[in-house]
Amino acid sequence: MRFILSALLFLMFSHTALSQRVNNNEVPFELLPSGHILLNATVDGVAGRFIFDTGAGLTAFTKTFFEKLKHVVPEQGGYTGFRATGERIDLNLYKVNNFELGSFKKQEEEISWLDVNLGGIDGIISLKLLEAQPFTIDFTKKVIVLQSAQTLVAAKKGTKRIPVQLEQSRNKALSLFAYFTVNNSLILQIALDSGAGKDVYRLSSKYLKQLNVNVNDTLNVKKIEKKSEINTEHSSLIYLTKLKSISAAGNATINTSNFPVQFVDGLIYDGIMWINWLGSKITFDLNAKALFVK
């Protein structure tokens, strides 16, 4: 497992109040201009605002929010993960009580915290929280629908299926991957990351040559160096350009073209990308190891 800590943790967002939940099985969210999903949740009786991040690995709060929780149990062991750029992160782990996301309730959840200021955002909620709960992200209505066994059948009708691969790390962190065809030639296993940000498609720079990208073509390729927000001694070399096409392997009708791409030196995956482009509705059924998109 390679724990992805999204760059969103170090960005400030301006945002408005979330709308009230209309249906008991719906969790409203705000879709930020950055492409991130911002929602309300309650932990140990304390209400907060969180980014829902399918690429985060595990749930992490800000230190400020964490210190509001009254019933936190520290674990004796910790967790070492890695950002997608290979940067190591060592985390302490804790158990918290009564995690509530709309009508979804979990008596106990494993979390960590980071000493960061997110400008009124209290942390990130990872896919691990909902691994046993099928759900749909509806980008049109801006709600996460918590599916029952009955409604899940209806949610899958008329959709396109994307097989996914789950990466579990010691039952503490969970990441999600699927295969995609890039430029109709190269099939890569790419992390599906709702916390990546708008129009973010990152590929390992080792595929530059195979995708016929000339780094010396300064008209079409821009080279930048980005320092880590955590360890300023760690930096990544990135090549910015555009590629012709990307599509779900085995279902070319799920596709986009002429898309921006970041080729990153030292990326620990084939690639990482945001998920919003896949469809207006994305149903997650991790038990079936598949997404179903409209």
pLDDT one-digit tens code per residue, 43-90 = 999 999 999 999 999 999 999 999 999 999 999 999 998 877 777 889
Strand partners, 47: 42
What is the CATH architecture of 160-293?
Beta Barrel (2.40)
Q: How far are the Cα atoms of 12, 44, 88 from residue 3, in angstroms, in the given order?
A: 22, 25, 9
Task: Look up the pTM and report it.
Answer: 0.90
**Residue ranges per domain, the chain?**
7-156, 160-293
Around Cβ 291, how many Cβ atoms within 10 Å?
26
Tell me, what's the pLDDT at 83?
Answer: 79
Provide DSSP, the chain.
Answer: ------GGGG------PPPPP-STTEEEEEE-TTS-EEEEEEETTEEEEEEEETTSBSEEEEHHHHTT-SS-EEEEEEEEEE-TTS-EEEEEEEEEEEEEETTEEEEEEEEEEE----SS--EEEEGGGGTTS-EEEETTTTEEEE--HHHHHHHHTT-EEEE-EEEEETTTEEEEEEEEEETTTEEEEEEE-TTS-TT-EEEEGGGTTTTT--TT-TTT-EEEEEE-SS-TT-EEEEEEEEEEEEEETTEEEEEEEEEEEEEETT-SSSEEE-SGGG-SEEEEETTTTEEEE-
Tell me, what's the pLDDT at 213?
Answer: 97
Q: How far are the Cα atoms of 94, 153, 252, 269 from residue 43, in angstroms, in the given order?
A: 13, 30, 41, 32
7-156: CATH, from 1.10.3720.10, 3.40.50.970, 3.20.20.70, 2.40.70.10: 2.40.70.10
189-239 pLDDT, tens digit per residue, is 999 999 999 999 999 999 999 999 999 999 999 999 987 666 666 678 999
Instruction: Give the residue carrying structure tokens 């482009």.
Output: 277
Same fold, 7-156 and 160-293: yes
| Band of pLDDT at residue 240, cut at 50, 70 and 90 | very high
How many Å apart are CA 252 and CA 248, to the nearest integer?
A: 6
pLDDT at 156 over 70: yes
Mean pLDDT within 167-178: 95
